[in-house]
Amino acid sequence: MSIQESLEERLCLPLQTPLIRGPPRLRRPRTPAPVTLLRRCDRIAAKPREADSTKQAQCVLMQKPGMVAPSPNVDSETVRKYKATFRAPLSDSTQEVLQLLFGGEFDPVAMNLDMVGLDEVAN
């Protein structure tokens, strides 16, 4: 008999019962939470949402300078006026307003914006 076999004989005992008593339990699929139980802030839920994120961003950009009232529907005429605002260079008064609006971080030259006629279109 080899040394390994004699050590196994002294140290290892045969098991009377198996270590695993049966097959593993099956996991139950999680049931989705009902819509009524989802917690949601009323203020956030009341905000208008667009299905298209680009349209949502356009709405936000037009609401910031006060070009349109906060509403979920922005018609093509409003979008046309908004785009017309940024076609020509900015007037000094418009630059000052945007500086105040964006907290001093607005640089029309760096952004390469053309906004002549903002005063006429916004009114």
Residue 106 falls within a domain, yes or no?
yes
Has residue 95 been placed in a domain? Answer: yes
Residue 100 lies in a domain: yes
Instruction: Considering only CA atoms, give the Rg of the chain.
Output: 34
Look at the pTM and tell me if it is higher than 0.85.
no
Specify if 1 maps to a domain: no
Residue 79 domain flag: yes
Q: State the total domains in the chain.
A: 1
- Residue 105 or 26, more confident: 26
Rounded distance, CA 75 to CA 64, Å?
17
Question: Residue 99 burial (CB < 10 Å; 0-12/13-18/19+)?
Answer: middle
Greater pLDDT, 105 or 3: 3
Domain hosting 95: range is: 75-123
Residue 101 domain-assigned (yes or no): yes
Q: Is residue 28 part of a domain?
A: no
